[in-house]
Amino acid sequence: MRWAALAALGVLIALPAVVGSYTLTVLIFVFFYAYLGQAWNIVGGYAGQLSVGHAAFVGIGAYTAAMLSLGAGLTPWLGMFVGGALSAALGAVIGYLGFRFGLRGFYFVLLTVAFAEICRIVALNTEAIGGAQGLYITFTGNPRQFQFPDNRAYYYIALGLMLAATAVVWTIERKRFGIYLTAIREDEDACQALGVDTFKYKMLAMVVSSFLTGVGGTFYAFYLFSLQPNTVFGIPLSVEIVIRPIVGGAGTLGGPILGSFILSPLAELSRFYFARGGWSGAHLIVYGGLLILVVLFLPQGAYPYLRRLLARRA
């Protein structure tokens, strides 16, 4: 498994030398959503606290970095950490309320959705950050402003983000922290009975996860060049963040990456083949159908399945 991963990494590093810009763009989104998925995975996968409001953190990170850059001229390279910190603060608030008041399962899902929606509505009505019109970022191609004339730079940054988040998760997995998180997911009451401070670990997971997600917001802002409350705080983005790790296998190291590598190309391919002529919508039907098939045939996610397959071979 390790050799396979290293070989795959080698291929990814070498790839920009041979493929075109469109393929790079598709891969950039694969990495970026794998990164967001990996960040979500810490709290949603390992700790089993399903958040469907992670768009709130992307939005706060993105707006912070963009406002600091537009208003104060602060380079997004620093702004991204300010954005991450603010996201982590919101994550702490949501986590505190959710965990202190013992919200689980569906209830926690709705709490996170409600917070993200509140962020969206507040942003929509705050003139200082552009209201519904949002912010438009000038394209300069200047690396100091986190902008690059060449798509390859974005590619390596997205790849780096994904690897960094994976390294964080890998470390957590190996520490007592990770073991506790998994234990909380499997049986929180038993875990608590054994004397584990489940509140503390869930909070920690939420803060780390929201910080990483907030950092990702900067990439979003400076890759797509405009921010609107409905796109960065909206439920559709939260759903995008959630589905990849789930398809790949929530609470596994490779899940978000594998899920992203499965879903993004599927979305592109179904658009490529079915979005022609008057059949608009057909490709999303196909995509939805594929999601259903994945759930039916890989109910534990793709990554555990792949591992078993490889183990059987070996």
Partner 1 sequence: MAILSLGRRAFLRTTVAGAAVAAFPLPLGAQPKSVKIGAVHPVTGALAEIGQACRLGAQMAADAVNAAGGITSLGGARLELVPGDTENKPDVARAEAERVISAGAQLLVGAFHSAQTAAMVPVAQQKRVPFLIDISAADPITANVADSVKKGEQKVQYVYRNFPTSRVFGQRAAQFMAEIFKEAGVQPKRVVLIYTNDLFGQTQARQFQAAVKERNPGFEIVEAIPYPEAATDLATEVSKLKSLRPDVIAPVTRATTAILLLQELAKQRVEALGIVSPGTPGLYEAGQIAQLKELVEYVMDSVPWPNFKNPRTQKVAEEYVKRSGGKTFDTNSGYSYEAILVLADVLERAKSTEPEAVVDALKKTSIKNPLMVAAGPLTFNETGDNPNASPAMIQILGQKPVVVWPRDAAAQKLVFPRPKR
Partner 2 sequence: MRVINFAHGDMMVWGMYLAWLLATRLGIDPYLGFVGCAAALFVVGLVVQRGLVDRIVDAPHEMQILLMLGVALVLENGALLAFGPEPQRVRSALTLSTFWLGPLFVDVARLVTFAVAVALSLALYLFLFGTDLGRTIRAAADNAYGALVIGADVRRVYAVAFGIGAACVGAAGALVSPFLPFQPSAGLAASVTSFNIVIIGGMGSLLGAFVGGLLVSVAESLGAVFLAPSLKELVSFSLLILILLFRPAGLFGRRAG
The binding site for partner 2 (CB under 8 A) comprises 44, 50, 52, 97, 101-103, 105-107, 109-111, 113-115, 117-118, 121-122, 124-125, 235-236, 239, 242-243, 246-247, 250, 279-282, 284-285, 287-292, 294-296, 299-301
Residue 165 interacts with which of partner 1, partner 2, none, CB < 5 to 8 Å by class = none
Smallest distance, partner 1 to C-beta of residue 159, A: 17
Residue 294 interacts with which of partner 1, partner 2, none, CB < 5 to 8 Å by class = partner 2
Residue 219 interacts with which of partner 2, partner 1, none, CB < 5 to 8 Å by class = none
Residue 223 interacts with which of partner 2, partner 1, none, CB < 5 to 8 Å by class = partner 1
- Hey, what are 57's tokens? 């953190």
Q: Please report, as a single letter, which amino acid is at residue 169.
A: V
Q: Please report, as a single letter, which amino acid is at residue 195.
A: G
Interface residue list for partner 1 (CB under 8 A): 20-26, 29, 124-125, 131-134, 136-142, 147, 149-151, 223-226, 228, 230-231, 236, 268, 271-272, 275-276, 278, 280-281, 283-284
Q: Please report, as a single letter, which amino acid is at residue 217.
A: G
- Hey, what are 52's tokens? 């469907």
- Hey, what are 72's tokens? 């104060």
- Hey, what are 126's tokens? 């705050």
> Torsions phi, psi of 130, nearest 5?
95, -5
Residue 225 interacts with which of partner 1, partner 2, none, CB < 5 to 8 Å by class = partner 1
Angle at 121 between CA 116 and CA 127, to 5 degrees: 130
The angle, 0 to 180 degrees and rounded to 10, between the axes of the packed helices 151-174 and 176-193 is 50
Phi-psi region of 68 (alpha: psi -120 to 50; beta: other; left: phi over 0): alpha
Residue 5 or 295: the one with the smaller Cβ distance to partner 2 is 295
